Structure 1
Amino acid sequence: MTAPDVERAAGPGSLDPLFDPRSVAVVGASDNPEKWGYWLASGALTGRHRRAVHLVNRRGGALDGTPFLPDLAALPSAPDHVVVAVPAAHVRTVVADGLAAGARCFTVITSGGAGADEERALASLVTGHGARLLGPNCMGVVDTTAELRLSWGDFQAGQVGLVSQSGNLALEIGRLLARAGQGFSRFVSLGNQRDIDAADALEALIHHEPTKVVAAYVEDFRDGRRLARALAAAHAAGKPVLLLTLGRSEASGRAAASHTGALVSARATVEAVCRDAGALLLDSAGEVVDTALCLLAGAGTHRRGADARRSRVAVVGDSGGQGALAADAFAARGLDVPALSEPTRAAVAARLPAGAGCGNPVDLAGAGEADLDTYARIARTLLCSGEAEAVVLTGYFGDYASANPAQEQHECAVAARLADAAGESGRTLLVHTMARDTAALTILRERGIPVYERIENAATALAGTVRVRTTTPVPPADGQPPAAEPPVTDGGYRTVRAMLRGYGLTFPDAEFVRDADDAVRAARRIGHPVVLKAMGLAHKTEAGGVALGLRDEPALRAAFAVMHAVTGAAEYAVEAMATPPDAVELIAGVRRDPAFGPVLMAGIGGVRAELLGDVVLALAPVTPEHARDLLRSLRHAPLLAGWRGAPAVDLDAAAHALCALARAAVDHPELAELEVNPLLVHPGGALALDAHAVLAPDAHTLPAPTERPRT
């Protein structure tokens, strides 16, 4: 059957030819099931009632009654989408032939050439003709709603859209979904992302109505800012994104030139992006599938308001031990397992034998075994009580027919009533069972009830679901472009301090000197006590480059002599000693991430910054409101609000300092890192006591100024 003649509405760069082309040509088709070309060709043929399918192999042959054509020039009409599965040396020729034939999209399974330069040239060739390229080096694309199957493997249809840089991971997720009664709406294998990238694919899934949950495995974030916007757009559209990436074991900060470099890892940056965009960063394929099932069941959508994150859970168990362990698992993940009200306890007790546990968790005490209908009665009571957003049934249900086949019909009927109760109540039911693949569990899965073999998996899935459903994404700061500021030419305190003062950060009075006599004269002008700092050191305290509280000339001279002997520094700062009462030391820094650009870090600072590791991240720039929220989210935030009777610090001043630092980093792309440590925040304001920068490797360095700044 030929493709319809109706022209689809597709703007420039549209991915319609990728997901629902009018015609497909598979170049490198094969009739050998051991070849990639066989799977691509046979998959394409499953949609031939919907679109024209052409199979190309210069050696000839046929598959399922469709003859192989010698080349793209032999096609009777222009191919909309060309799949390239030929040796790498022939890829460019095939793509050129496809462009000449009028193709609008290419999926390149094989490598696009001998290296990155050849792949980029291939992408330029394709996009220069107004077409799109998926890959090279990808596993293909599947759209079950459009009956498009251009990939290795068999993917069950469902409601999960997957974007992945790993083919095998996609197969694993697909099989786990299939076992749970779910599958893919779309699957996009990104390959080397020379044109179509993760953000493109995510944006397409946002507008794809059959896709209800989006999963993504991304290693190379490329334009991280654009991807972050796509994640936020998905959340706004009600399409939760579950993200997997690498980097949990990355020791990226060991050789960093600043505290910021040690505290801002690639993984932590992605975590911050997901938090602010409303996406969920997970750790395994199993977690993705478990959470997707929970999301598709509607979990986390019932409660709003200040306590939404403490979503309430009611637990029903076959035994006291299982119920108690389940309650612990959910509570440990931040979910609320509240005591039931007296009316609900009474309603539960009326359906259970004397001595059964009627609180939360509910212990059936053998009542389920005596009468399977008890499961449905108790679950319905709790689902309709209004006292829990989710009810968890944990234990033996689903396995009765395994031991006694005569119970299968009854157990299946109870499974249907459990699903009815969940649907009618508008609440979420999760089932944890020791059974596997029984008829009753099949009914539950077909009705959209998530079934888990391990209670910890159910708890993690529900907690993640509640988190993503109740997150309010943080709108990004305005897209104001970098200001045309003179470049910073060195990362020393003197230069960075002068630059940051221009952005509104406050520093103590200081002068820069080269010998002890100059230091003494500077101290007289500033007033004792003073601080002496050696310049040119990234970690001054550890290197013996800081002396505090020098109260007179002899103390200053003695400190200078020791410091000069230890550090050999050529320049020193003499600075007013700042000791505001009730102050808290923070660290604030910005590190330029290769994918996401400048990333702001704030946390508890001073010499213990790396020991405590209490930091939060966000893409720079930030708004004052976002900066305040970041500070409030620190583990040690109570220190800022007033601890044990101390007055609260000036959080607005601290937020202003973070905004200024972030803006400075945006305006100075020549800086790879920029840091203030410590930032002393106190009830009367915020004071930067030290600053440091690291120039980017490609920064254009100018000679440092020789004139000493006046104070």
Structure 2
Amino acid sequence: MTGRTGREGDGLGSPTDARPGALDVLFDPRSVAVVGASANPEKWGYWLASGALEGRGRRGVHLVNRRGGELRGVPFLPGLDALPEPPEHVVVAVPPPQVRPLVEQGLTAGARCFTVITSGGAGADEERRLAAHVTAAGARLLGPNCMGVVDTTAQLRLSWGEFPAGAVGLVSQSGNLALEIGRLLARSGQGFSRFVSLGNQRDIDAADALDALVAHPPTRVIAAYVEDFRDGRRLARTLAAAHAAGKPVLLLTVGGSAASGRAAASHTGALVSARATVEAVCRDAGALLLDTAGQLVDVALCLLGGARRLSSPGRRVAVVGDSGGQGALAADALTARGLDVPELSPGTAQALAEQLPPGTSCGNPVDLAGAGEADLGSYARVVRTLLAGGDADTVVLTGYFGDYASANPAQTAEECEVARQLATSVGESGCGGLVVHTMARGTPALAVLREHGIPVYERIEEAASALAATARLAAPVPAAEEPSAPPPPPPVRNGDYETTRALLTTYELPFPQAEFAPADPEQVTAAGRRVGFPLALKAMGLAHKTEAGGVVLGIADEAGLRTAFTRMRAGTGAVRYAVEAMVSPSYGVELIVGVRRDPAFGPVVMVGIGGTRAELDADTAVALAPLTVERARALLLSLRHAPLLTGWRGAPPVDLDAAAEAVCAVARAGADHPELAELEVNPLLVHPGGAIALDAHGVLLR
């Protein structure tokens, strides 16, 4: 039970310390004490103690159970005060009422980190107090209510379940999901470098754990399942840091949204879901948001294996198969997911023709047409030719390879040798990658491919989706620049059009000339004369004016204004009205710009096709606010209806710079005013001559 020496620093760090090594005390402590150890395999204490004992050659391991006993010849000690050395890392697997006293004992004994498997006491407040007490003493806390921590590179296994060794670092709020990911990785010849079960995140949170994985050389791909993002802005910075460090992050989360409950107050609430926000954060940080554990593992294998890092253009794929049907279906699956299956150059096609029987298709896909059955070596020669030809970034081998020895065991050695040649071809190419789709399962040749890092898939759609996701990861990441924040302005007290319009004009967002008047026909008419006809009349105090009959456009004269006012007052009961000049430039496009305050990520800006069809079209793009003009312009051009902005069917393009500046103005206003849960301009009319806001609305935080 010898401990290690010679580590740099104390490996502790503060609760917000993201330095490399700041969580060494969690992942690679000098000594571990498991409190609640058990010799009964039906209890958590058994698996924690058993896993801890696997690292006895690297650190001191102490097992604590006040009732006594032993496991694998190691006696259970009655308490932390009976340990022969201070325990750096204490694993707590005792009933909740005993957690706080146990932590007190651990701090007294010199513990620097606690992994609390059980809940930390009677509710969230007690858990927060526990975490505050631990961090105030200069220690760290994982959990409570977590599944533990594993570092296969440091022989640390403090959790229940099997965790195969590999190059994937996983941070998860779900223990069972981690086990599922582990089993899927193991079946594919991969596993974990580290695993952190976050539990209730009272101290060590997702960003802390991800920071540690970014700084961990054996971790090549980072995976995470996060439900509670806590400080979303900090997490976004961590994702960006991972991208900059060349560590791809694959994220899973839940898709529920509280925004739907505010849909009646604002279009923005209906159009900006929680998942849309996370998607935007991942896109702008260079991470990848996925849907299932299986998809995560498929992409991880692609990143770790022969597909390598696809770079722009990076989407070119060559397909080779021993079946024309499978090759064609593979090409369709790849194309449907946005990848390119290009024609081969004459030189590559000629080189293939010299290797294959007469009549073989030497296009893309390449059909071996029985050449593989006649000579297994043709698989390796064709793949090598395609990788060397420069026509594709990745080769997909689809069909039967890997299964020849199943029907004829005498071919086992030859098929394994061809598998080694395929892997060698990838290494020699220096830039291309190889992905294998096969109907085989668990054969020696597939084991050889996996040993050499070649990803193998049972279904072509899995391979195609993984390649497409990998290509998305290689897309350029926007600059992380945020505009500097001015001094905070005074808060607004009302979210109606008059107040919101006044707020936005201070951010230089243009509006039409307007006057506001009480519900008096003479004052409304006088306002109309000053503004000038034609004009629009709007009832104040309505969330959706058009649907409520609170907007009349194109009023041509005083008589029309009086008639519109009389009907509107009777229909809406509004006590205040806006009399606003009509604006109708040629070739105008209506947009919606909104800012919603996400509980984790703060202000989030949304742009989309606006007007009364905003929710029907649901063509939107999202980013964290505030943002630069360049980023706003990119959001506008990412819309499905972007051709309307750039010139559709001969129409002149709108002023994209003015449109982007207007988006930035709304985003900055929303970011500057935390008292606003939502801020919305709809429509924002953009046209070849500029941009002008025609309506605005705010929702105050309750």
Shorter-chain TM-score category?
Answer: over 0.9
Cα shift readout 1:167-194 (whole Å, capped 9, x = no counterpart):
0000000111011001100000000000
Structure 2 equivalent of residue 700 of structure 1: none
Say whether the 8 Å CA contact 2:517–2:524 is kept in structure 1: yes
2:578 pairs with 1:570? no
The partner residue of 2:362 within 355, 358, 361 is 358
Structure 1 equivalent of residue 325 of structure 2: 321
Say whether the 8 Å CA contact 1:290–1:461 is kept in structure 2: yes
Give the drift of 1:683: 1.2
Structure 2 equivalent of residue 703 of structure 1: none
The partner residue of 1:630 within 619, 628, 635 is 635
Amino acid in the other structure paired with 1:399: D
Work out the CA distance in 2 between the residues paired with 1:251 and 1:675.
Answer: 14
Work out the CA distance in 1 between the residues paired with 2:381 and 2:234.
Answer: 50
Give the drift of 1:642: 1.2
The partner residue of 2:249 within 236, 241, 253 is 241
2:566 pairs with 1:561? yes
Matches within 5 A, 1:426-445: 426=430, 427-445=432-450
* Aligned length in residues: 692
Matches within 5 A, 1:556-705: 556-697=561-702
Say whether the 8 Å CA contact 1:253–1:264 is kept in structure 2: no
* SS of equivalent residue, structure 2 residue 525: helix
Cα shift readout 1:687-709 (whole Å, capped 9, x = no counterpart):
00000000001xxxxxxxxxxxx
Matches within 5 A, 1:95-244: 95-244=103-252
Structure 2 equivalent of residue 709 of structure 1: none
Amino acid in the other structure paired with 2:434: L
Say whether the 8 Å CA contact 1:654–1:681 is kept in structure 2: yes
The partner residue of 2:388 within 384, 388, 403 is 384
* SS of equivalent residue, structure 1 residue 146: coil
Amino acid in the other structure paired with 1:672: A
2:518 pairs with 1:503? no
Say whether the 8 Å CA contact 2:283–2:477 is kept in structure 1: no
Say whether the 8 Å CA contact 2:306–2:454 is kept in structure 1: no
The partner residue of 2:64 within 56, 70, 73 is 56
Work out the CA distance in 2 between the residues paired with 1:692 and 1:233.
Answer: 36
The partner residue of 1:534 within 539, 543, 553 is 539
Work out the CA distance in 2 between the residues paired with 1:369 and 1:118.
Answer: 68
Structure 1 equivalent of residue 19 of structure 2: none
Give the drift of 1:4: 2.7
* SS of equivalent residue, structure 1 residue 345: helix
* SS of equivalent residue, structure 1 residue 106: strand
Amino acid in the other structure paired with 2:302: C
Give the drift of 1:6: 3.3
Give the drift of 1:470: 3.1
Structure 1 equivalent of residue 397 of structure 2: 393
Cα shift readout 1:286-332 (whole Å, capped 9, x = no counterpart):
1111000111125353544xx34xx1000011111111110011111
The 1:509/1:275 distance shift into structure 2, 3 A limit, reads same
Work out the CA distance in 2 between the residues paired with 1:437 and 1:154.
Answer: 20
Cα shift readout 1:210-234 (whole Å, capped 9, x = no counterpart):
0000000000000000000000000
* SS of equivalent residue, structure 2 residue 242: helix
Cα shift readout 1:27-54 (whole Å, capped 9, x = no counterpart):
0001111110011001001001100000
Work out the CA distance in 2 between the residues paired with 1:48 and 1:352.
Answer: 57
Amino acid in the other structure paired with 1:669: P
Say whether the 8 Å CA contact 2:434–2:454 is kept in structure 1: yes
Amino acid in the other structure paired with 1:341: S
Give the drift of 1:477: 0.7
* SS of equivalent residue, structure 1 residue 517: helix
Say whether the 8 Å CA contact 1:299–1:466 is kept in structure 2: no
The 1:302/1:7 distance shift into structure 2, 3 A limit, reads closer
Amino acid in the other structure paired with 1:12: G
Amino acid in the other structure paired with 1:6: G
Work out the CA distance in 2 between the residues paired with 1:585 and 1:298.
Answer: 47
Say whether the 8 Å CA contact 1:300–1:466 is kept in structure 2: no
Say whether the 8 Å CA contact 1:430–1:458 is kept in structure 2: yes
The 1:654/1:418 distance shift into structure 2, 3 A limit, reads same
* SS of equivalent residue, structure 1 residue 4: coil
Give the drift of 1:474: 3.4
2:463 pairs with 1:458? yes
* SS of equivalent residue, structure 2 residue 183: helix
* SS of equivalent residue, structure 1 residue 445: helix
Amino acid in the other structure paired with 1:312: R
Work out the CA distance in 1 between the residues paired with 2:208 and 2:460.
Answer: 36
Scaled by the length of structure 1, what TM-score is found?
A: 0.96
* SS of equivalent residue, structure 1 residue 384: helix
Structure 2 equivalent of residue 706 of structure 1: none
Say whether the 8 Å CA contact 1:23–1:81 is kept in structure 2: yes
Scaled by the length of structure 2, what TM-score is found?
A: 0.97
Give the drift of 1:372: 1.1
Q: Which runs of 5+ in 1 are unaligned?
A: 698-711
Amino acid in the other structure paired with 1:493: Y
Structure 2 equivalent of residue 406 of structure 1: 410
Cα shift readout 1:398-456 (whole Å, capped 9, x = no counterpart):
11111111111111111111111111112110000011000000000000000000100
Work out the CA distance in 2 between the residues paired with 1:695 and 1:36.
Answer: 48
Work out the CA distance in 1 between the residues paired with 2:189 and 2:48.
Answer: 25
Work out the CA distance in 2 between the residues paired with 1:230 and 1:118.
Answer: 29
* SS of equivalent residue, structure 1 residue 448: coil
Work out the CA distance in 2 between the residues paired with 1:496 and 1:344.
Answer: 63
* SS of equivalent residue, structure 2 residue 585: coil
Give the drift of 1:11: 5.3
Work out the CA distance in 2 between the residues paired with 1:300 and 1:442.
Answer: 19
Structure 2 equivalent of residue 8 of structure 1: 8
Structure 1 equivalent of residue 307 of structure 2: 299
Give the drift of 1:248: 6.2
Work out the CA distance in 2 between the residues paired with 1:625 and 1:646.
Answer: 24
Structure 2 equivalent of residue 19 of structure 1: 27
Give the drift of 1:249: 8.2
Percent identity for Structure 1 against Structure 2: 73
Structure 2 equivalent of residue 76 of structure 1: 84
The 1:339/1:7 distance shift into structure 2, 3 A limit, reads closer
Cα shift readout 1:644-671 (whole Å, capped 9, x = no counterpart):
1111111111111111111111111100
Work out the CA distance in 2 between the residues paired with 1:387 and 1:255.
Answer: 50
Work out the CA distance in 2 between the residues paired with 1:424 and 1:63.
Answer: 51
Work out the CA distance in 2 between the residues paired with 1:492 and 1:679.
Answer: 17
Say whether the 8 Å CA contact 1:25–1:79 is kept in structure 2: yes
Amino acid in the other structure paired with 1:578: V
2:349 pairs with 1:341? no
The 1:442/1:5 distance shift into structure 2, 3 A limit, reads closer
The 1:26/1:479 distance shift into structure 2, 3 A limit, reads farther
Work out the CA distance in 2 between the residues paired with 1:26 and 1:142.
Answer: 14
Work out the CA distance in 2 between the residues paired with 1:301 and 1:124.
Answer: 42
Work out the CA distance in 2 between the residues paired with 1:261 and 1:184.
Answer: 39
Work out the CA distance in 1 between the residues paired with 2:521 and 2:358.
Answer: 87
* SS of equivalent residue, structure 1 residue 150: strand
Work out the CA distance in 2 between the residues paired with 1:614 and 1:373.
Answer: 51
* SS of equivalent residue, structure 1 residue 694: strand
Work out the CA distance in 2 between the residues paired with 1:67 and 1:677.
Answer: 71
Amino acid in the other structure paired with 1:666: A
The 1:260/1:436 distance shift into structure 2, 3 A limit, reads same
The 1:478/1:49 distance shift into structure 2, 3 A limit, reads farther
Work out the CA distance in 1 between the residues paired with 2:541 and 2:259.
Answer: 26
Say whether the 8 Å CA contact 2:207–2:235 is kept in structure 1: yes
The partner residue of 1:491 within 495, 501, 509 is 495
Say whether the 8 Å CA contact 1:213–1:295 is kept in structure 2: yes
Amino acid in the other structure paired with 2:475: T
Q: Which runs of 5+ in 2 are unaligned?
A: 15-21
Structure 1 equivalent of residue 39 of structure 2: 31
